[in-house]
Structure 1
Amino acid sequence: MFKRLLSVGGFTLLSRITGFIRDVIMASVLGKGMLSDAFLVAFRFPNYFRAIFGDGTLNPAFLPRYAALHAKGEHDAAARFGDDVLAWQLVVQAVLMVLALTFMPALVLLIAPGFAGQPGQVELAATFTRITFPTLVLTVVVVQLSAMLNAIEKFWAAAAWQNFLNLAMIACFLAAPFFPNAAFAGACGVLLGGVLEIVFMLWASRRDGIVLHIRRPRVTPEIKEFFKAVAAVTFGTAAVTISPFVDTIIASFLKPGSLTALYYGDRINQLPLGVLGLAVGTVLLPEMSNRLAKGDVAGSDASQNRAAALALLLALPFVLVFVAIPDTIMRAIFAHGAFNREAAAQAATALMAYGIGLPAMVLVRITASTFYARHDTATPARCTVSSIAANIAVKIVLVLGFGLGIEGIALGTALGAWVNVAMLGWYGWRKGLLKFQPSFRRALGPIVLAALAAGAGAWGGASLIGWGVHLHAHSLNDLLSLAAAGVLAAVGYGAVVLAFRRRLPITR
């Protein structure tokens, strides 16, 4: 499992690096204002629907069933099941795309009603979204191929394909002078990235013996069971999507640029979350599904405990660093070109608030695997709905009641994630499905100590440069502070991990 985590984590880390470069270039080219806000709505729109109909549905509803058929040696039945699911996916996505392209201005007002008070903003966002939205059809096919490869324990391609979107957007942003404006260039980059992703995944899946065929949609017993699972999962994932919808709605009423600052704060939080949460969840769910299909409950529990300990070991240090030096991080990375230091300071408050929920966001995927691996999609859906209700309530109180702005939006997201993981853990414990083994409990103390050492090192490094070095070039000063913080954080963290290595999930 650890080797597979390294494989997935490595390619996912590469995609986060290319995504990070994309965001730095995007911030420099687009800056913070009406144009960037309009583009970010267009960028997020297909991602919302992908979360509902792609990742959020296929992984929990399709992957465990497909993996179980493969584990039992029923390869032909698994292939037919995959073709049938694809047929229905394409029908749904075609209808959805036609409706979306037809009623795009109304959809923009639904997601960002505050744009109505800014002349030309709705038209801008609708134009860009019409360019980006067709990528949804391409992406859901890519997501299904990824799920099928993960089910047969072929992980590298499923972790690598997202790099193509980042590379395409980087190329288009760099070529922005040849487009009507930088936001138009970014929208074209999103569409180009979708095309490159599906070409790559069709090649990679055929290389590993998986070929999807376009057939007439059929209603089979397997498809009926799949649709029942989809109904529960879609309910939960739609609830998850409501949260970023609400974020965008609230931010659209704040001063121009607030949506952009919120985006960049979330992007830094997504660096560790995307690598750790995606890697652990990608490997853990098919492994638990395969083990449970063979009756190996003890092996499934051991894999889950090891994954949870490893995820906390890698995620908690980022929480302490994000809380200790958010301003240093955002200034050093984004305060260049059209994105000024004031915008970076605003994004820093969002980063700190998001960081509080980072461990919960990682653990949600691990605890939810307890139920998905047993084909129980209803329990995670109930927990998700409850957590989203708490999420939205907190945001309304913090932003509208206390006037906190984007930091209130981010803090609501963080607290909602903790509610979700707490409910999943309680249901899993009550049903006897979630077992905390002694190895996990032994690792908790050193994990917390390592995170504290990382946070202290980051604060010390940034403060050391801030007190001792005063260069006229602010950007260089910020880069030196971030570099010193990173070095001292790594030293403190590494020392603790080395001292307690026998109690941590890094040895056999």
Structure 2
Amino acid sequence: MKPIKLLSGFVTVGFWTLASRILGFVREILIAAYIGPGPVLDAFVAAFRLPNLFRRFFAEGAFNAAFVPQFADRLEANEDAEGFAQQAFNLLAAAVLALTGLGMVFMPALVWATAEGFVGDARFDLAVGYGHIVFPYILFMSLAALFSGVLNATGRFAAAAAAPVLLNIFACSAMITGAALGHEVITWLVWTIPVAGVAQLALVWRATERAGIRLRPGLPRVTPAMRRLVRVAVPAALAMGVTQVNLVVGQLVASDIENAVSWLFIADRLYQLPLGVVGIAVGIVLLPDLTRRLRAGDDTGAREGLSRAGEFSLLLTLPSAAAFIAVPVPLVSVLYERGATGPEDVAAIALAVAIYGAGLPAFVLQKVLQPLYFARQDTRTPFYYALVAMILNAVLAIGLKPLVGWVSPAIAASTAGWAMVALLWMGAGRRMGDVARFDARFFRRGWRILAVSLLMGAVLHIGTLQLAWLFYLPSWRYLALLGLILTGAVIYFGVGQAVGAFRLAEFKKALRRNRG
């Protein structure tokens, strides 16, 4: 067995995901400045969420959970892995083509089902029109996810991780160009999305060919292998797509409140930075590694990989969560308060950011724990857990709305996230034994990481109170936020290294291996 270098893989995927998320920040900053919270952004969010929702079901969720372990098994055993991938490609392409056609025909029904509050105002027709343009994005991204799964299973993470960067490059360029030409920025943005999807697909398709695996379009065949893939993929799709489903439920609940969909969207994009960098990196790298180790009977190595993945997750998500809770207003103000986004929008977005921040570690830990099940091709158990979490989310989002208003979806999503982690953790420990339990080093370092994160958050909060007046001065607020970030980093990494929460030398070694 050729092992996957876990930490090096985390760094590779994390680097490209960080690049994508930073460019995503630029994209959201431009959206907030050029479009701003309001009917147009509400409509765009509802339209763009549709292909992203179905992508989780038909692509990333199903194929990361079902396709990657089965492909990796065949690759390891030299059992015609390329033929299996070709059959999966044909079946997925046919299914998503059919879905795209149905989505285009029934777009008004889809918008009504996910944003009922739009009915009766201009947002509904806008969302339907935007949906017709952006929905084909799901076809390109679903196929790109399959090629990415092939690359990840072979230990080649860079191209698949770099592909999302293209969407943000295309979107930012389109909005800047549209604004410079005096055109409607939203028109340039929506038409760019399917174009970016084609570019992303082309990148990973070419990388797969360079890896020695050649896939071409063909007619689907329902073979025993494909029936098995579908049986595993269907429950996995819901288990992996629980976050997107919760976001759609939140959108549905908030859609009858002016600007609420826009506020929740912008807040969601902010906490997606650490979630994407850490959670996606861990999920992508850990699943094929666990699959190979479990197949080889290496339970000790599997537990080591799980524990280091959990450690890596806490290392970056706990301080991020502390910052989101301690200083959300400065973060949102500096990033988004310009153009069409004003102080009232900032206050609302900051509240949602703080609530989502409380759930951030849970969203990432799900990515650590789910591969324990998926590596064993057990997707039914996470499916049942996801069902419980989704019901809890819906009950809280709807039930709390009369009490707390538009922010109830954020509270519900964070609570459901922690419930999902508890179910995954307890279920894995009960069913799988020691291989599914974090080791002593994880707990030893974990509580230290938590303590240092809380210390950093407290210092940041006090610093914000002392420097609050600077954030009202346009020429100084950027330096004030930079000062807070640097102070937090020095405290976190300095104290963390001193108390043994982590060892920075371990990451230096990983970076050297990655460059090699």
1:27 maps to 32
d(CA) in 1 for partners of 2:504, 2:393: 32
Specify which of 167, 170, 174 is matched with residue 165 of structure 1: 167
Label 1:248 to 1:368 Cα distance change in 2 as closer, same or farther (>3 A). Answer: same
Specify which of 278, 289, 292 is matched with residue 290 of structure 1: 292
Q: How many residues align?
A: 499
Contact 1:461 1:484 in 2 (8 A): no
d(CA) in 2 for partners of 1:345, 1:429: 41
d(CA) in 1 for partners of 2:200, 2:217: 18
1:5 paired with 2:10, answer yes
Moved more, 448-457 or 342-351: 448-457
1:359 maps to 361
Q: CA deviation at 1:165?
A: 0.5
Q: CA deviation at 1:290?
A: 1.0
C-alpha RMSD of matched pairs (Å): 1.7
Which AA in structure 2 matches 1:485? L
1:411 maps to 411
d(CA) in 2 for partners of 1:475, 1:43: 32
Identity of aligned residues (%): 31
d(CA) in 2 for partners of 1:189, 1:298: 47
Q: CA deviation at 1:465?
A: 2.0
Contact 2:111 2:124 in 1 (8 A): yes
Q: CA deviation at 1:86?
A: 1.0
1:474 paired with 2:473, answer yes
1:174 paired with 2:176, answer yes
Mark the runs of 5 or more structure 2 residues left unpaired by the alignment: 1-5, 510-516
Q: CA deviation at 1:180?
A: 5.7
1:193 maps to 196
Which AA in structure 2 matches 1:428? A
2:22 maps to 17
Contact 2:496 2:502 in 1 (8 A): no
Label 1:59 to 1:506 Cα distance change in 2 as closer, same or farther (>3 A). Answer: farther
Secondary structure, aligned partner of 2:78: coil
d(CA) in 2 for partners of 1:237, 1:491: 35
Contact 2:17 2:277 in 1 (8 A): yes
1:50 paired with 2:55, answer yes
2:514 maps to none
d(CA) in 2 for partners of 1:404, 1:126: 26
| 1:337-356 matches, cutoff 5 A | 337-356=339-358
2:427 maps to 427
Q: CA deviation at 1:474?
A: 3.4
Q: Deviations over 1:94-119 (max 9, x none)?
A: 1111111112122211111111132x
TM-score relative to the length of structure 2: 0.93
Specify which of 238, 253, 256 is matched with residue 253 of structure 1: 256
Label 1:270 to 1:455 Cα distance change in 2 as closer, same or farther (>3 A). Answer: same
1:242 maps to 245
Specify which of 260, 268, 271 is matched with residue 270 of structure 2: 268
Which AA in structure 1 matches 2:257? L
Q: Deviations over 1:10-42 (max 9, x none)?
A: 111111111111111111000111111111112
Q: Deviations over 1:442-487 (max 9, x none)?
A: 11221112212321232233233225x48xx633343233112101
1:97 paired with 2:100, answer yes
Which AA in structure 2 matches 1:67? A
1:110 paired with 2:113, answer yes
1:381 paired with 2:409, answer no
Secondary structure, aligned partner of 1:175: helix
Contact 1:446 1:504 in 2 (8 A): no
Label 1:168 to 1:302 Cα distance change in 2 as closer, same or farther (>3 A). Answer: same
1:488 maps to 487
d(CA) in 2 for partners of 1:67, 1:475: 53
Label 1:505 to 1:296 Cα distance change in 2 as closer, same or farther (>3 A). Answer: farther
d(CA) in 2 for partners of 1:505, 1:221: 48
d(CA) in 2 for partners of 1:275, 1:113: 33
1:459 maps to 461
d(CA) in 1 for partners of 2:104, 2:305: 44
Q: CA deviation at 1:184?
A: 1.6
Which AA in structure 2 matches 1:493? Y
Moved more, 498-507 or 413-422: 498-507
Q: CA deviation at 1:188?
A: 1.0
Could you list the runs of 4 or more consecutive aligned residues of structure 1 that deviate by over 6 angstroms after TM superposition? none
Q: Deviations over 1:66-115 (max 9, x none)?
A: 011112233xx111111111111111111111111112122211111111
Label 1:21 to 1:474 Cα distance change in 2 as closer, same or farther (>3 A). Answer: same
d(CA) in 1 for partners of 2:504, 2:380: 31
Which AA in structure 1 matches 2:104? L
d(CA) in 1 for partners of 2:475, 2:350: 18
Label 1:180 to 1:42 Cα distance change in 2 as closer, same or farther (>3 A). Answer: farther
Q: Deviations over 1:35-79 (max 9, x none)?
A: 1111111221110110110111100011011011112233xx111
